[in-house]
Structure 1
């Protein structure tokens, strides 16, 4: 897939290792600053809030500027911010407001970086290689975020808290340097000069007018909302003496490693499955299995069933993600890719907080099995919409 992709893969690996250290280490540091649950929970809010506030703007800017340059700038901003935080920790000047400010900056940079990353890939590899390329990128993200980043964060917190920010700062700087090794131009051939708000409206209009992309976005939104509801209360079903399964905290922790192993496997096999069985059929099958497998630990509440569920869920979710991202990168015009992708992700991920809240509410009122079965049922109800979307290959949309 060429020199440019190799440098992009190296940059992605380095940046996601930094992400894994930061996302795991920040809450660990937060509980050393305060024991107030409301304040600790703000760490998660600060990390995800920029997606709701900035996603559409990030997409519009990715369609105007040099996408590689945006990624370099965001990596360097994160490196500098984290270096400053490392100095604050070393001088014993860390505080909760300072930590939250850092997470907001890092979250905002992630929005712009990830949006540009999904638009720069089709400019770095041939369209027929998008499936394999996305599979390798997802595998690198999973390894960095789940396998390596989390344990490294725990080690650094215990060894030297300042290194919790210093190490990711170096990794983000390395990610920026790797991007400089990419050859070629990464600015869209056609660049809009319209006001930013008008550009955002153009992306939304394309999404709503393109039946395939619109229906896939709605499907993703339904599935992610249901998954968020399910996972928000599953720990109560799985862990503790009074739970249905009776796992210990350490046994439950292994589930994340199993899920990551499944995700790596699925991401690497996705393109091969699509070539053999057809892209649309493979995506719908993966998403159907993704929903059905969540019933396993409910119907068979045992520890092995949880591990099997984690493995299958990781594989199907990652493979489906690789295929749908590659599909969007092929059919959306290059000059609109940033805006439409950001609008798609806003619809696809915007329901996650609502799903988590509903899962807790329904679980408290009607019981955990109602949450689990309801989430699976609603996910499966979205499958005909996905099948219809993929059967109806969208024509270009006038914007």
Structure 2
């Protein structure tokens, strides 16, 4: 793994540290503005809605553009937007609509950045190294998102709310600068000149006709939608005097750090375990364990239980992600990778805003435990779909 991959890894670490500060700090800041479950869940809706609206276009653009350049532009756009928001906080102008607006901007940039990042990585390492490379990338993402970013957010939200936006602005700018150190061409060898809508349709046809990729997307979509519902209101179950667990904001941030310990371990071991026990068995085992783990803080609403949950969730989520991403990068043609990945993620993540909204609505009407148990049941129902998908050998698909 050469120079370009190292710069890509450094950029990933910096941008995900920014994500961790912003995405963990945002709901903590939101509950200082309102304790209404529906309104709090809107932070999750704003973060994930751009995946539903922009994923297909991001994939088509990534397949006809310099993918690194897209990542550089989105890094600097996020840096500028968050710097302006930090200034607004300094002037005591923060409110819930402004918070939701900045999360929408950051989420839109994330769609283009992450879609391009998954297509750039196979252009920096060989196919035989994809598992190891993705393991390191997921580990870096975890370190940034939760191991460092989350506890820092818990600290900043009480000490200096302005820094919840100022610190990520600097980190996104650093991520863009790291990308400028990469060498090489990151534009597909075969670039479509067809209308954008036709390119999007080509990616969708490939996904629909490839049974393996399609069924994995459906299973991932169910799990992510349910997890989004769960996580959109979990902060109300865990944090505050009126919550079931009674954690402080700083303790909540430390739980995310514990989750990161598990995630780093899982991401680095995933490829080795898959080689030993088989990709199909390993992935299904990780996803099943991930779903069942969500029950622990509901059955045992204590701080130690949440710490155990964090370790297990981190390990199983990260390992599953490494296996699925590496699998897609191996079997999808390079010139279609952006479009098919975006179509996959539209199905896999497009339900997240709906899940977040439903989590808030169901939590308000029926109570938080109903959200948590229902999410687990639906996740387990997706396991046979994932097992069936991996049971079939991928074959070339005509588009």
Q: Which moved more, 1:221-230 or 1:338-347?
A: 221-230
* 1:383 Cα deviation from its structure 2 partner: 2.0
How far apart in 1 are the matches of 2:78 and 2:362? 39
* 1:339 Cα deviation from its structure 2 partner: 1.0
1:17-96 matches, within 5 Å, as: 17-26=17-26, 42-90=42-90
| TM-score using structure 2 length | 0.87
Task: Quote the residue 1:271 is aligned against.
Answer: 271
Report SS of the residue matched to 1:249. coil
How far apart in 1 are the matches of 2:200 and 2:379? 29
Structure ranking higher on relative contact order (CA contacts 8 Å, 6+ apart):
2
- Equivalent in 236, 249, 253 of residue 247 of structure 2: 249
* 1:84 Cα deviation from its structure 2 partner: 3.3
Task: Quote the residue 2:175 is aligned against.
Answer: 175
How far apart in 2 are the matches of 1:235 and 1:27? 8
| Alpha-carbon distance change, 19 to 356 in structure 1, aligned in 2, over 3 angstroms | closer
How far apart in 1 are the matches of 2:272 and 2:389? 22
Q: Unaligned stretches of 5+ in structure 1?
A: none
1:119 counterpart = 2:139 = no
Task: Quote the residue 1:393 is aligned against.
Answer: 393
* 1:145 Cα deviation from its structure 2 partner: 1.6
1:322-361 matches, within 5 Å, as: 322-359=322-359
Task: Give the greater-gyration-radius structure (CA).
Answer: 1
Deviations 1:206-225 (A, max 9, x none): 11010000000011112223
Task: Quote the residue 1:216 is aligned against.
Answer: 216
Report SS of the residue matched to 2:294. helix
Task: Quote the residue 2:309 is aligned against.
Answer: 309
Q: Which moved more, 1:259-268 or 1:154-163?
A: 154-163
How far apart in 2 are the matches of 1:29 and 1:241? 16
Q: Which moved more, 1:265-274 or 1:63-72?
A: 265-274
Deviations 1:85-143 (A, max 9, x none): 34445566666655544333222111110110011000011111111111111111122
| Alpha-carbon distance change, 313 to 102 in structure 1, aligned in 2, over 3 angstroms | closer
How far apart in 2 are the matches of 1:392 and 1:376? 26
Task: Quote the residue 2:149 is aligned against.
Answer: 149
1:191 counterpart = 2:191 = yes
Q: Which moved more, 1:266-275 or 1:56-65?
A: 266-275
Task: Quote the residue 1:261 is aligned against.
Answer: 261
* 1:48 Cα deviation from its structure 2 partner: 2.4
* 1:54 Cα deviation from its structure 2 partner: 0.9
How far apart in 2 are the matches of 1:59 and 1:105? 18
* 1:227 Cα deviation from its structure 2 partner: 2.8
Q: Unaligned stretches of 5+ in structure 2?
A: none
How far apart in 2 are the matches of 1:70 and 1:268? 28
How far apart in 2 are the matches of 1:107 and 1:213? 25
How far apart in 2 are the matches of 1:197 and 1:70? 19
Number of residue pairs matched?
396
Deviations 1:139-190 (A, max 9, x none): 1112212222233345445555554433322222211111111122110111
- Is the 8 Å Cα contact of residues 52 and 351 (structure 2) preserved in structure 1? no
How far apart in 2 are the matches of 1:190 and 1:356? 39
| Alpha-carbon distance change, 81 to 360 in structure 1, aligned in 2, over 3 angstroms | closer
1:135 counterpart = 2:128 = no
How far apart in 1 are the matches of 2:24 and 2:302? 28
How far apart in 1 are the matches of 2:96 and 2:299? 43
How far apart in 2 are the matches of 1:166 and 1:298? 35
Task: Quote the residue 2:285 is aligned against.
Answer: 285
| TM-score using structure 1 length | 0.87
